């Protein structure tokens, strides 16, 4: 790709993320994006089939790697379960609350049927991203601390709640009082930890 075309593509993505941040994902359109980027809609459609294609590619190419890096900061798969979960939740909270476009795209990616197709086209296999978290969970399954469940079920039980809390955080930005903070996130994390761990191992979490 010629440098000029590369700069144009980067500008399109940057402006798309800006619109998502300021106006919401639902208000992003190819026409609005083209006008903001001072190019013709036809130029955008050369690279992206439609809005859904743009959003999926933004998620994979602009968000996924950065999101992974942020979540894994200061995390070690050899950590105790409680310590590791709290680190992952806090990292997720701090990254997403400061990156609303990324959060919007992650939420969109969870519901878009095009995401699996995009993963297949790029040959992204399950476990390729967030591999340390996969190892972390497998380690604690082997010890009997947490139940042996499919990875997607572990993800739903352990990490969907923190994303819901981030959604509440953004919702409360427009309210008189913000109820979502680091202390509450940790409290909720402890509830999730207690809920999924086997009763006989609860004492181990305090060590």
What angle is formed at CA 64 by the lines to CA 61 and CA 69, rounded to 5 degrees? 125
Q: Residue 108: what pLDDT? A: 79
Confidence of residue 52 (pLDDT cuts 50, 70, 90): confident
CA-wise closest residue to 192 among 167, 169, 164, 172? 164
Report CA-CA distances (Å) from 26 to 21, 30, 61, 63, 89. Answer: 11, 12, 20, 18, 27
| Cα–Cα separations (whole angstroms), residue 182 to 8, 89, 168, 169, 178 | 39, 10, 13, 11, 11
6 pLDDT higher than 70:
no
Name the 3-class secondary structure at 15: helix
| pLDDT of amino acid 80 | 96
- When the pLDDT of each residue in the chain is averaged and rounded to a whole number, the result is 86
Structure tokens at 120: 């297949």
More confident residue, 38 or 74: 74
Task: Report pTM.
Answer: 0.81
pLDDT band at 205 (very low <50, low <70, confident <90, very high): very low
Segment 147-160, tens digit of pLDDT: 999 988 999 999 99
The domains of the chain, with CATH numbers, are 1-47 (1.10.10.60), 55-206 (1.10.357.10)
């Amino acid at each position: 790709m010629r440098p000029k075309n590369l700069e144009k593509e980067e500008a399109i993505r940057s402006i798309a993320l800006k619109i998502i941040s300021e106006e919401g994902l639902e208000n992003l359109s190819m026409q609005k994006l083209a006008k903001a980027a001072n190019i013709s809609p036809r130029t955008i459609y050369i690279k992206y089939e439609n809005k859904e294609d743009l959003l999926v590619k933004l998620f994979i190419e602009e968000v996924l790697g950065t999101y992974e890096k942020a979540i894994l900061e200061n995390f070690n798969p050899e950590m105790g379960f409680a310590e590791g979960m709290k680190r992952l939740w806090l990292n997720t909270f701090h990254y997403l609350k400061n990156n609303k476009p990324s959060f919007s795209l992650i939420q969109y990616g969870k519901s878009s049927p095009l995401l699996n197709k995009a993963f297949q086209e790029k040959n992204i296999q399950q476990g390729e991203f967030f591999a340390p978290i996969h190892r972390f969970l497998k380690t604690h399954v082997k010890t009997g601390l947490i139940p042996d469940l499919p990875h997607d079920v572990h993800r739903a039980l352990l990490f969907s709640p923190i994303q819901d809390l981030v959604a509440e955080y953004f919702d409360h930005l427009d309210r008189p009082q913000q109820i979502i903070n680091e202390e509450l996130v940790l409290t909720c994390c402890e509830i999730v930890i207690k809920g999924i761990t086997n009763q006989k191992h609860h004492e181990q979490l305090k060590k």
